Amino acid sequence: MIVSVWRYSHLLFAIISSIFLLIASITGVILAVEPISNKIEPYSVSGADELSLAETLENLNAKYEEILAISRDRNGFISVTAIVDGKNEAFYIDPFTGEKLGALLQKKPLFQFATNLHRSLFLKSTGRFLIGLASFLLVLIIISGIVLIAKRQGGFKQFFAPVVRENFSQYNHVVYARFSLIPLLVLAITGVYLSLLRFDVIPDTQVALQVDFDSIQEEPFKEYTEFDLFKTTPLSELRELEYPFSEFVEDYYIIRLKNKEVYLNQVTGDVLAEEKYPTVQVMSSWATVLHTGEGSILWSIVLGLGSLAIPFLTVTGFIVYFKRPKTKIKNTYNKNEGTYIVLVGTERGTTLQFAQEFHKQLLSAGKKSHLALMNQYTHFKKMEHLIVITATYGQGEAPASAEKFVQLVKKHPQKQAFDFCVVGFGSTAYPNFCQFAYEAYEVLGNLENSAALQDVFTVNDQSFEAFNNWSDAWSRKVGLNILLEKPKLAANSLPPSTFEVINKAEIPEDDTFLLSLKNLNGSIPISGDLLSVIPEEGARERLYSIGKLNAETLLISIRRHEQGLCSNYLHQLGQNEKLTATVVDNRNFHFPKNAKKTIFIATGTGIGPFLGMIEENSHKKEIHMYWGARTTNSFNLYKNYIDKALQDGKLTNFKTAYSRNQPEKIYVQHLIKQDKELFVEVLKKKGCIMICGSIAMQKEVLQELQQLCNEHLGKDLSHYQNRKQIKMDCY
Amino acid sequence: MKNSIIKTVGALGLACALFILSSFVKEPEVSYKCMIQMTNYTGEKAYVVVSLINPDGTYEKTLYVQGDDKEWFPDLKNWWEFSDGTKENVDAISGATIGNGERNIISLGFNAAHIDAGYKVRFESAVENQEYYAVDAEIPLNSATIKEKVDGKGYIRYIRMVPNR
């Protein structure tokens, strides 16, 4: 449960501190403007920093009768405090001429308000404590966040590797957290430091110089312009210079430089006392500058943006948390009653949903099914069939609910014989796809009384179709009839539209047909989007990839199944008949805008969306198409489209693999091997490979591409997938 | 009868004229340079207010406020009662707070008539969440003794004053 500990502490600290952090970050953004607006005031005099203290004093003394102090702030502005007409005055000056440049900057009421809210929430010490605590929690949130990112990315080395996009909140939470990591860490740590300083946990040590008044000399007299310190110290080193209070020799110059404090005899120019600032004071000064951005426009901007990230991260973080499926396991049969044991390894709960659906259907088929987490593996007295459904975390590690599985399997041998199968959930966008499923398979296979029913079955990107395929295959093997219910597509679908059938082309021997549909109202899809068709009320929806020929005409290519409810429904539609269906956005399968070269790989009816993309390729970008089918005959349905595209230059190349034309079977994956130079080049030069067709073909093709990547590119296939150079739509 | 009316009117007119004239005549001002040296206490920066106290021992006017955030003014209880009550505008005579061990040099202006006339300069001080000193230091406005160093009882170590050049 190591990941969970980090995750829960990340969440817990965020919940505790969220309100304070929101207040502090929003006021922080406002306060980031202050140093910028100060810095751009016109009080900076060029060349002033190179002026020596002697020259500065000479210039100023000539202009003012009684000066009390000269100081230089973090913006590099020089100011004097002087008595003018019997009154105290402080203002910025030009150190060359002594001329007054303007009154000292007053803190604007907005900034004063924001500062108070930022520091103490208007609650004085209580508020200061709360803000300090929130700051400390922010440090912890950041540390746990760093660990979580490292785990998710598969190690600290991959920390800045591209993030796999699951949804908006998850993706941007990670991406922006990485961007704002440094400023946030600096803000949080300096915030804690300043709080500790406030509450005297860190002692604020002062320089306490002692002057030996007995040994003060009154001669030899020296002009102040001849004092060594004044002559050798540039104005850039100065923080503050206080004039002697009176003309008595016991009163002296007090000079605070960047690194030390010096007392200077006003008559002889001797150093009366001198001390470097203690480390704490130097650190405090740094902490202040780093926290406030005072004196630096660039750093203020960085801090402001970092502050701005906090509300964003808070909101997306909570969305990620609340969107995470929280499904509780309920069982009708306990672990000793179940003959079917379904075990789940899940990190974020998504895999559990699939397992639950499967478990539910087993129960409704009248089977005694028991659902549990993989970490709950123990003696199952009546187990006959074990079904393990597991995700993989990070670099092929066990997910949170399966970390102890391997040990437990060894620790609890079963008394009776049983068969098992393993379904792996994962994303080929991560390296070591479904690694843990294979590991679980091996551990179970090594038991004496276990029998594997089938090989590890992998499901990519939570594809319901793939999971359904597995469920069909499995239930046939054990002699059951299990029908899974598809979870409702939550978002991204437009309201239903009406389409008119304008053409149907068919090859009966091949059981395939092409429907041209006219879009009668509204929703204009993009080639690669899906058309969701529900053939009759209550029936499960079917999805077909759309090829868009023009703004009005869509093409869907369909294989007719003997028992297929939907394909037969579509097949019986006549010319000009109307069809109601919904367009579903399928952003991950749109034609890449920026790729110079694109490769299409399809089998059978998978060619459908590509016909649309080719038709729309008016810029005549390079497209290479590989298509697999059973016989040459299958091609006749698409021949006109392909021939015309080749003629128009919208398609560069068309290669086919017919599996049944000749004695030895040829598949599309064999073509990849033949043309590997092209594939390597496309991947190298940021081109794109799009795959559409059956899941079986997808697996073979990915395997082939993986090998190609390993041998010729020295990178994992997931690297390219993460960069959206591999796009897939398989069923 | 007529005479006495003329006399009265004349006297009143003269008094009026004198009164109006007197407001144009600038009263001589004496200005002193004043150093406030803080002790090495621990805590936030101190708020110090300098006021003129009349011979009756009550506040005459505020001379200087060391502290720029009004949020903390009520902490200087006695002075705040007076200053808030008389709606004084202290913006023009306030400066930044100073921390422990630091010193602040200011210029204080007095009406010459107040010198050697039983008036005093009072320094009161407060620090956030710490004790309030109603009289941290007090210096009689006496030209003979004013240059002497006066020790403070609270956050102020000592006060020194010298006439301005």
pLDDT in tens, A108-130: 889 989 999 999 998 878 999 99
Amino acid A327: pLDDT: 60
| Residues of B whose CB is below 8 A from A88 | 64, 95, 106-107
β-pairing verdict for B47-53 and B29-38:
unpaired
Residues of chain A short of pLDDT 70, as ranges, are 1-3, 325-327, 487-494, 522-523, 538-539
Q: Which of A399, A584, A504, A407 is nearest to A1 (CA)?
A: A399
A135 backbone φψ class: left, alpha, beta (φ>0; ψ -120 to 50): alpha
Q: Is the distance from CB of A523 to CB of A583 less than 8 angstroms?
A: yes
Q: Is the distance from CB of A300 to CB of A168 less than 8 angstroms?
A: no
Averaged pLDDT for residues B50-60: 92
Q: Do B105 and A66 touch (CB under 8 A)?
A: no
Residue A46: CB atoms within 10 A of its CB come to: 7
For residue B55, is the peptide bond before it cis, meaning its omega torsion is within 30 degrees of 0? Answer: no
Tokens 């017919």 correspond to A658
Q: Is the distance from CB of B48 to CB of B67 less than 8 angstroms?
A: yes
Q: What gap in Å lies between CA A600 and CA A616, rounded to an integer?
A: 14
Q: What gap in Å lies between CA A657 and CA A728, rounded to an integer?
A: 19
What are the CA-CA distances from residue B50 to residues A37, A132, A245 (Å)? 33, 34, 19
- Nearest Cβ partner for B35 among A83, A204, A245: A245
State the best of B107, B108, B160 to mutate against chain A, taking most chain A CBs within 10 Å.
B107
What are the CA-CA distances from residue A157 to residues A12, A153, A160, A709 (Å)? 27, 9, 8, 20
Does the beta carbon of A206 lie under 8 angstroms from any beta carbon of chain B? yes
Phi, psi of A167 (to 5 degrees): -155, 175
What are the CA-CA distances from residue A185 to residues A157, A292, A388, A542, A572 (Å)? 20, 14, 42, 49, 64
For chain A, report the end-to-end CA distance as a whole number of angstroms. 34
Helix (H, G, I), strand (E, B) or coil at A551: coil
Does the beta carbon of A213 lie under 8 angstroms from any beta carbon of chain B? no
Q: What is the largest CA-CA distance in chain A?
A: 119
The two three-digit tokens of residue A487, written as one number: 């979870």
Amino acid (one-letter) located at B98? I
pLDDT in tens, A428-484: 777 788 889 999 999 999 998 999 988 888 888 788 888 888 998 898 888 888 888
CB contact set of A463 (below 8 Å; sequence gap of 6+): A695, A730, A731
Q: What gap in Å lies between CA A608 and CA A627, rounded to an integer?
A: 11
Chain A residue at shortest CA distance from B32: A86
Amino acid A483: pLDDT: 83
- Nearest Cβ partner for A206 among B100, B105, B162: B100
Q: What gap in Å lies between CA A292 and CA A28, rounded to an integer?
A: 9
For chain B, report the end-to-end CA distance as a whole number of angstroms. 58
Q: What gap in Å lies between CA A50 and CA A95, rounded to an integer?
A: 11
Q: Which of A51, A60, A331, A321 is nearest to A170 (CA)?
A: A321
The two three-digit tokens of residue A449, written as one number: 């009384």
Q: How confident is the prediction for chain B on average, in pLDDT? A: 84
Helix (H, G, I), strand (E, B) or coil at A309: helix
Phi, psi of A456 (to 5 degrees): -60, 130
The distance of A68 to chain B (nearest Cα, Å) reads: 7
- Please compute, for residue A286, the number of CA atoms within 13 A of its CA located in the half-sphere on the CB side: 10
CB contact set of A562 (below 8 Å; sequence gap of 6+): none
**Tally: H helices and E strands in chain A:** 21, 26
Q: What gap in Å lies between CA A691 and CA A142, rounded to an integer?
A: 39
Q: What is the largest CA-CA distance in chain B?
A: 76
Interfacial residues of B (vs A; Cβ cutoff 8 Å): 29, 31, 33, 35, 40, 42-43, 64, 68-69, 71, 95, 99-101, 103, 105-107, 109, 128-129, 160, 162, 164-165
Q: Is the distance from CB of A36 to CB of A297 less than 8 angstroms?
A: yes
Q: Is the distance from CB of A390 to CB of A425 less than 8 angstroms?
A: yes
Residues constituting chain B: 165
Helix (H, G, I), strand (E, B) or coil at A162: coil
Q: Which of A670, A672, A604, A607 is nearest to A642 (CA)?
A: A607
Q: What gap in Å lies between CA B117 and CA A488, rounded to an integer?
A: 93
Residue B23 confidence (pLDDT) above 60: no
Q: What gap in Å lies between CA A405 and CA A437, rounded to an integer?
A: 11
- Please compute, for residue A665, the number of CA atoms within 13 A of its CA located in the half-sphere on the CB side: 7
- Give the long-range contacts of residues A321-328, CB within 8 A, separation 24 or more: A321/A11, A323/A167, A323/A169, A324/A348, A324/A349, A325/A349, A325/A350, A325/A352, A325/A353, A327/A352, A327/A353, A327/A356
pLDDT in tens, A591-649: 998 888 999 999 989 999 999 999 888 888 999 999 998 888 888 889 989 999 999 99
Residue B90 confidence (pLDDT) above 90: no
For the entire predicted model, the pTM comes to 0.69
The DSSP letter of residue A117 is H
The distance of B109 to chain A (nearest Cα, Å) reads: 7
Does the beta carbon of A483 lie under 8 angstroms from any beta carbon of chain B? no
Q: What gap in Å lies between CA A91 and CA A75, rounded to an integer?
A: 14
Which neighbouring-strand residues pair with A385? Answer: A340, A419
Does the beta carbon of A124 lie under 8 angstroms from any beta carbon of chain B? yes
Q: What gap in Å lies between CA A303 and CA A24, rounded to an integer?
A: 12
Q: Do B107 and A208 touch (CB under 8 A)?
A: no
